[in-house]
Chain A
Amino acid sequence: MAIKDYLRERFFPHMWCPGCGHGTVLNTLLRAVEDLGLNKNDIVMTSGIGCSARISGYVDFHSLHTIHGRALAFATGVKLSRPELTLLVPMGDGDALAIGGNHFIHAARRNIDITAIVMNNRIYGMTGGQYSPLSGPGKKATTAPYKTIDNQFDVVELSKAAGASFVARTTTYHVQEAIEIFKKAITHKGFSVVEILTQCPTHYGRKNKEGDAVNMLEIYRDTTAKVGSKALTENPALLGRGIFVDKDTPEYCEEYEKIIQLAMREVA
């Protein structure tokens, strides 16, 4: 299948701003799905609310555009009732880790076979640039005109601690890496988290004087390094990219199936 076959072309050009990284997330995610040769009728994408969440409208999969922070709850319901389907859940940083933080950690704890994609632009894009739990201290936002004092979550450490069995980080600059990571995350059996840094030139970029989309991609290029690389060991100030966790632990739907069998034997 060509990538266009996975798109709802009638909704293009899409609603994202010029240079918004969310389009690159859509682009790379679809390449991964294409490379894996997945049937679009076997994929369900659930999303919440935000610029990022609008992604579910553009893919020609089964899709549920739900409520803010709850995309993983809907995905859990779909997956438990139809475990054979592939669940993709893209979320903004606010959607995933502010209002949706509790759903996020518990989905990770259960290790349910869902691919969660945190589209991290470090701001609430859709509502005009409020700071998020991923902005980090010293950043500017409409709700922090003098700078934020809040520490940010580290998505990788949080996901690890919560029990996700696959955890990775990449950026919209590193597109080939992003495609490979998405492929591994989707194939992985268990809860997979992919944090992808994605630029919001309109709010985050402008308020934090990071320039346009091109400048923001240069920042991703220059301030990150691959895990295990010499660059990262020599310069701990860089942010690590790559796969941090990839392990086999009991998956929720499989464990649930065992309980169903147990209960059936009991009543029989």
Chain B
Amino acid sequence: MAKKKLKEHRINRDWCKGCGICVKFCPGKVLELDAMEKVVAVRPKDCICCKLCELRCPDLAIEIVEDEGDE
């Protein structure tokens, strides 16, 4: 299977409530909360596209968009 490659984290800032679940359990330490307590992908290069943040998010505020280009 080809290694998954990230295109972007699509984050819905209006829905994010800043609980920090995604930040804590991201295996690559990709995410952080900003001054507004909204999640941002600060180290997108470290993302392994496991989508655990997307699946655990209680606010359905994160979508991992994969780069389909180079398969």
**A residues near B, CB below 8 A?**
3, 7, 12-14, 16-24, 26-28, 31, 172-173, 175-176, 179, 212-214, 217
Contacts and interface: CB of A to CB of B under 8 A. Distances in A.
B14 A24 contact: no
B24 interface: yes
A22 B58 contact: yes
Contacts of A217: 21, 24-25, 56
Contacts of A23: 57-60
A12 B15 contact: yes
Contact of A13 (B21, B56, B59): B59
12 contacts: A12-B14, A12-B60, A13-B15, A14-B15, A19-B19, A23-B58, A27-B55, A27-B60, A213-B21, A214-B20, A214-B24, A217-B25
Interface of B: 14-15, 17-21, 24-25, 52, 55-60
Nearest to B23: A214
Contact of B21 (A28, A179, A214): A214
A173 B57 CA distance: 10
Contacts of B25: 214, 217
A173 B58 CA distance: 11
A14 B59 contact: yes
A180 B56 CA distance: 14
B24 A20 contact: no
Contact of A24 (B17, B24, B58): B58
B57 A24 contact: yes
Contacts of B14: 12-13
B21 A20 contact: no
A177 to B, nearest CB: 11
Contacts of A31: 55
A213 B19 contact: yes
A101 to B, nearest CB: 27
Contacts of B52: 175
Contacts of A7: 60
Nearest to A215: B24
A114 to B, nearest CB: 25
B57 A18 contact: no
Given A22-B58, A23-B58, A27-B56, 19 more contacts: A13-B59, A14-B15, A14-B59, A16-B58, A17-B17, A23-B57, A23-B60, A24-B56, A24-B57, A24-B58, A27-B57, A172-B58, A175-B55, A176-B55, A212-B19, A213-B19, A214-B24, A217-B24, A217-B56
